[in-house]
Amino acid sequence: MSLEFQEYHTRKILNVHKHVDGPWFWGKYTAYPYVGCRSGCEFCYCRGNRYLGRRDPETFDSLIGVKVNAVERLQGEIFGLEPEIISVGDWQQPAEDKYKLSRGMLEVVLQIGFPLFIVERSPLLARDLDLLVEINKKSWVGVLFSISNLDPTLKRAFEPRSPGVKRRLGAMAKLAEAGIYVGTSMMPILPFVGDDERHLDELIRATKDHGGSCVLAGGLTMDGVQAERTLEAAKGFDPALEDHFRKLYRWPIDGKPQYGPPRVYNARIGLVVRELCEKHDLLDRMPRYVAPGLLEVNKRLAEGLFLKTYDLELEQAKDFRIWAYRKAAWTVDELGESILDIYNARGEAGLQELSNIGVGIASAITKWLERYVHEKH
């Protein structure tokens, strides 16, 4: 397959998200220097038109957009912002071999001293270990290697051109040895062929063996061209999978699939992964990096509230309960004053004066703050 680079100057590169991405990657900012990807995994959600804009999704892996001014734009846009976690980079080959924009963006992150998170499918990331180590000394670095499973037959069917899994695990081990927090983003888990306990346990065990500390699991989404290509790959692997996929995603022959699997499916997978992570002494959530300071207590409390939303999802709780904790987490995380000061001044009644914090959550926050103070002393 031919490969073409389309160079252009972007007017903006930094995405400033309304809320941090809790309880997943904890990022507030993202910035990526390329559009499209040579690996061309059939299940990649980036094939969807919502991510490519007006680009033809069929050229996703043959026409790579290159934001040649990515480093300069990042440097200009990031200064003056709150030092929250930023996710940058896109270590795809051969684009990064030629342009080295991801490395240049790391140099900016080091310069400004922001904490960094990376989710990456390419072992080329290990090339920049020198910068990662320096960023980690100055603030923090967390890296999750994106690996769906270790089954070579599934790789050939769904991601034939992606970097080898053994190379990804080798890069994980190299980063772990250098003191970088690493783990696996087990996404997407392929239904019916990669979601059984054997496949899940194999990857979780390999993560532990290569220095990983956590595994985050997520199901396969289906949307537009990406859905059609994923279904074709599944049929090529086993024709019987078409019926299974259509039932799981409620996908009529002449219609569109549901975007994600049913809640009961996601909860089952999440609980199995949690149990297997406990078995191998790993976490099924990535701990949040929080810088010391006046608002540290807010960030830590918000982390706990975000984690509660994930627990409730695994319990298949009512949506209103999940959203209650999520909104409370946003409120606490984005407060401009210490929630501990609010509590000390006005007690639990003061907590209830905050938006999205009702009686029940205020009571839970009170207990958390009392434990926090006790542990601090």
Peptide bond into 188 cis (omega under 30): yes
**What is the reported pLDDT for 56?**
85
Question: 228: Cβ–Cβ under 8 A, 6 or more apart, which residues?
Answer: none
Cα separation, 216 vs 307, in Å, equals 13
**Fold (CATH) for 296-376:** DNA polymerase; domain 1 (1.10.150)
Evaluate the CA torsion angle 321, 327, 330, 336 in order and state its sign.
negative
Amino acid at 13: I
Cα separation, 189 vs 204, in Å, equals 13
Question: 63: Cβ–Cβ under 8 A, 6 or more apart, which residues?
Answer: 4, 6, 36, 55, 56
**What is the reported pLDDT for 58?**
87
**What is the reported pLDDT for 377?**
72
**What is the reported pLDDT for 246?**
98
Task: Tell me which residues of the chain have a pLDDT lower than 50.
Answer: none
Where does 12-69 show beta strands of DSSP type E? 15-16, 29-31, 34-35, 63-67
Cα separation, 213 vs 156, in Å, equals 28
Tokens encoding 372: 């926090």
**What is the reported pLDDT for 49?**
63
Q: Are 353 and 346 in contact (CB under 8 A)?
A: yes
**What is the reported pLDDT for 57?**
85
Is domain 4-279 annotated with CATH 3.40.50.2000? Answer: no
The domain segmentation of the chain, as residue ranges, is 4-279, 296-376
